[in-house]
Amino acid sequence: MNITIVGSGYVGLVTGACLAELNHSVTCVDNDARKLEQLKRGEIPFFEPGLDDLVTRNVANGRLQFCSRISLAMPRSEVVFIAVGTPADSSGDADLSYVYGVAQEIGQSMSRPLLVVNKSTVPVGTAEAVRYIIESELATRQVEIRFDVASNPEFLKEGNAIQDFMHPDRVVIGAGCQTSQDILKKVYAPLGENLHTLHTVDIRDAEMIKYAANTMLATKISLMNEIAVMCDELDVDVEMVKQGIATDSRIGPSFINPGCGYGGSCFPKDVRAMRAMARESGVSGKIFEAVHARNLEQQHVLADRIVNFYGEELAHKTIAVWGLSFKPGTDDIREAPAITIINRLLDAGATLRVYDPKAIDNARAAIDSKQVFFCHSAAEAVKEADALLVTTEWEEFKAPDIGALGTSLADQVIFDGRNLFDPTRLESLGIAYCGIGRRNRLFTLVSGRTNGAWSSSALTTEMAQGRPIDNIPVLEEYRPRANHRF
């Protein structure tokens, strides 16, 4: 089929390249001239594993091309996917101006029967608005051309997008007539046995499914993070709790890893949009409010603990930071917890040595501070650092040489925002550890002796005196520790 994708950002480019791989003839339209020149040279403006090879191969075989105007692609298009951004505005609503602008251009330039498909994440009712805009433009031109509008939400995970597209756990088709359903089934037919489930639903149902899916996943993350905060207060190891609930088939192991918050282009924006839709439809939306608030708070948990731990000394400390992207497998730093934490530490006067396998360039453009040094490796980042902060769970961070790491860090302290390390092993090597919901026993007890910050030098001295970690006295009875926790 002849398919046009309007928008060559993350969703548009992945969709276009994968559809070309399925033997469709695909044209990606984008109004960014610089990006188009990059793409024509086979240069991908963002990192996604395998995408560069996919684009290069399909450009070479003629199944994938790029152009700057929708009108240039219209004469041969059978299906047009709208895959432009829908960023949140100041109130949290999805900004649909790009979607509506594309609909207007389609109406102004279409010359043959057409199926218009919303691939962008849009609020319920957007397809009806797109239909109205196209009809209005056709009326202005005084022409009658058959067209329909459908919804086909994407479920691509950054870092695994090609696999998700080529082996989807489901494809959702929201269409109001059988003809449109059949056309979209034909688009995805080359997936064959790789297409496990195809759901045909009403258009409004499809629009809600996308938001419901992302909000559900964000809720699981936020709930587990709130449980982790409670575990710190109750002297419970959240990793043991996680293992105990992950085998429950009703819960499962996915999206229950406690950490320093979620980020990226989808979850934060979609939770805010869901909150706005609830408000507009007269629903309280308290759960959406709570998920959003928990995530904002979670991004400050480790920053608060570092600030409380060092106190005024932080202005004289150098912190190594491993991870800048919001998740592994991508260079995307949009709403990344690492950036929030880094800004907090900079405000406190700390010097930072940061490293990420893919996101260094994006972070360099986003962080303007002479107190930040961008490093080429994890080892370089910890060199001459006092403590280590881990904010992204890249594979290369999961099994470092702990002995060498402890030697490199002057204060022998690790703040683990993704619970990558084993606290018992670190403590046996004399390395102080603070995770998310990992009891943080050492820090809780020693900081309790000093009404707040415990200096790193004093902590190191205590450990150097040979006091085994296991011999630190436990509390005789539980007492709330809000005023003297890590």
Instruction: For tokens 């196209």, name the residue.
Output: 134
Backbone angles phi, psi at 435, to 5 degrees: -110, -160
Give the integer Cα–Cα distance in Å for 486 and 484.
Answer: 7
From the candidates 18, 28, 266, 375, which is the catalytic residue? 266
231 included as an active-site residue? no
Backbone angles phi, psi at 422, to 5 degrees: -90, 110
Q: Identify the H or E element spanning 353.
A: strand 351-355
Contact between residue 282 and residue 229 where contact means Cβ atoms under 8 Å apart: no
Contact between residue 88 and residue 269 where contact means Cβ atoms under 8 Å apart: yes
Q: Is 319 exposed, middle or buried (0-12, 13-18, 19+ CB in 10 A)?
A: buried
Give the integer Cα–Cα distance in Å for 373 and 415.
Answer: 19
Residue 434 is given by DSSP the state: E
Q: Identify the H or E element spanning 241.
A: helix 238-246
Taking only Cα atoms into account, the Rg of the chain, rounded to an integer number of angstroms, comes to 26
- What is the full DSSP assignment across 119-173? -S---TTHHHHHHHHHHHHHHHHT----EEEEE----PPTTSHHHHHHS-S-EEE
Give the integer Cα–Cα distance in Å for 103 and 108.
Answer: 9
Could you count the other beta carbons within 10 Å of the beta carbon of residue 433?
24
Give the integer Cα–Cα distance in Å for 206 and 385.
Answer: 50
Q: Identify the H or E element spanning 225.
A: helix 203-234
Bridge partner list, 65: 27
Residue 439 is given by DSSP the state: -
From 325, 319, 418, 322, select the one nearest 378 (Cα to Cα).
322
For residue 280 the two structure tokens come to 């507009």
Contact between residue 42 and residue 56 where contact means Cβ atoms under 8 Å apart: yes
Please give the positions annotated as active site: 266
